[in-house]
Chain A
Amino acid sequence: MAEGDLIPDDQHVLRHVPGSKIAQDGRIDGSAFVRRLDEAGLSVEWRESAGDPAVADQVARIRRTMRRDMRTSHRLAELPVGPTKSKVHEGAAELGLAMDLTFEHAPLEPDGGWPADPYHSEIFGTPEYDDVLARAIGDILASCVSERYSAVE
């Protein structure tokens, strides 16, 4: 696995979701999938790159390396790569857009007291954060969430 590698369609990524983006019923909102001003892509973690086939172990490893302030109200939202790409492509077409997302491996070196994050990846191709279409694409991405994990062990 090297930087820039495309994540296979049969694999999964995890997106950190802070508590403010989770509704009363636990549903993850599309605003959690909108790029921020300084972001080129959506930051995610490639689950299968964390080794051990046991999902709980993969998630545990990822929790320990994510560069996020994890709290009990936060969640890790799982997206299946292939189905998400398809659904966003179709949903964007229904909005009159041609959109093809790419899921790329983007490991992080140790930095500022943070350890290396070898599982870090990016989703490229979503609209700019201030584009109203970013909200709609965010909602389509949120509808692709296949699993939610607690952000803290």
Chain B
Amino acid sequence: MGAGATDSRAFTQPERRLTAPPAWPRHVGWNQATDPKWGGFIEAEVGGGEVPTWVARGQTAIDEVLIEQARRWLIERTLIERLFAWCAELKRRGAEEGLPWSSVSEEDFWAFVVSRPGLREPGVVLTDQGNLRAIWHNAAGEQVALEFRGFGDVLFVLFARRPSASRMARAVGTGELSRIAGKIAADGLTELVYG
């Protein structure tokens, strides 16, 4: 939360046309009671006490866009917070097991996580080499596993089911971090990773 005013009572229902509160807050939000999965507040630059013109004009379409944007920010922020906490736990477990921790692997992992919106939460583990490995699975046995080896180098293991083939297509190899999204897409696994 920012340092602005926190009176958000006027912003608790996204369907409702926003009207100016006595002191315009720096927050937009939605009702957690009606939308428990995504309810919450997130900071938005809407001014410091003045009613933005777009609200004064009652542009509800913009309200919806802003609220949708706020939802996405919250989802991404929540994902990052969860992964950050899990990485801290992995670091603890690794230290307990006498494993190294690769800071260059961690840098690449975060670069990948923040590189594109809509990322699904991967399972994350620590390899014996101290690298972070992210894995996405589905019930069909498909998977994307990326081991971040640092300096933009990724070891991938991709399992993809082809509609026309009874066998699983399996690919393993190394590649550049900057090109791995293209590799995932080429194997038809984008939805597994990005939803």
A29 touches B133 (CB 8 A): yes
Contacts of B82 in A (CB 8 A): 24
Cβ of A71 < 8 Å from any Cβ of B?
A: yes
Cβ of B128 < 8 Å from any Cβ of A?
A: yes
Total interface residues on A, CB under 8 Å, equals 27
A76–B172 CA distance with the chains assembled, in angstroms? 27
Could you tell me the dominant secondary structure of chain B's interface residues?
strand
Cβ of A44 < 8 Å from any Cβ of B?
A: no
Contacts of B5 in A (CB 8 A): none
B172 touches A27 (CB 8 A): no
Contacts of B147 in A (CB 8 A): 31, 135
Contacts of A82 in B (CB 8 A): none
Contacts of A36 in B (CB 8 A): 128
**Distance of B9 from chain A, by nearest CB (Å):** 36
Cβ of B104 < 8 Å from any Cβ of A?
A: no
Beta-carbon contacts under 8 Å, B130-158 to A: 133, 135, 137, 141, 143, 145, 147, 155, 157
Contact A20 to B90, CB < 8 A, known contacts A91-B170, A94-B169, A133-B172: yes
Cβ of A95 < 8 Å from any Cβ of B?
A: yes
Contacts of B128 in A (CB 8 A): 31, 34, 36, 129
Cβ of B118 < 8 Å from any Cβ of A?
A: no
A94 touches B168 (CB 8 A): yes
B86 touches A24 (CB 8 A): yes
Tell me the nearest residue of chain B to A130, going by C-beta: B129
Tell me the nearest residue of chain A to B83, going by C-beta: A24
Total interface residues on B, CB under 8 Å, equals 32
Contacts of B125 in A (CB 8 A): 20-23, 29, 31
B168 touches A23 (CB 8 A): no
**Distance of B142 from chain A, by nearest CB (Å):** 11
**Distance of A148 from chain B, by nearest CB (Å):** 14
Contact A27 to B145, CB < 8 A, known contacts A20-B94, A20-B99, A136-B172: no
Quick one: which of A18, A27, A129 has the most chain B CB within 10 A? A18
Q: What sequence of 0s and 1s flags, for each residue 157-181 of chain B, a beta carbon within 8 Å of any chain A beta carbon?
A: 1010000000111101110000000
A20 touches B97 (CB 8 A): yes
Q: 13 more A-B contacts (CB under 8 A) besides A19-B96, A20-B126, A34-B128?
A: A20-B94, A20-B97, A30-B157, A31-B127, A36-B128, A73-B93, A90-B167, A135-B157, A139-B143, A139-B145, A139-B157, A139-B159, A143-B141
A-B contact pairs, 14 of them (CB 8 A): A20-B99, A20-B126, A23-B125, A27-B137, A30-B157, A31-B125, A34-B128, A95-B172, A132-B172, A135-B145, A135-B155, A135-B172, A139-B145, A143-B141
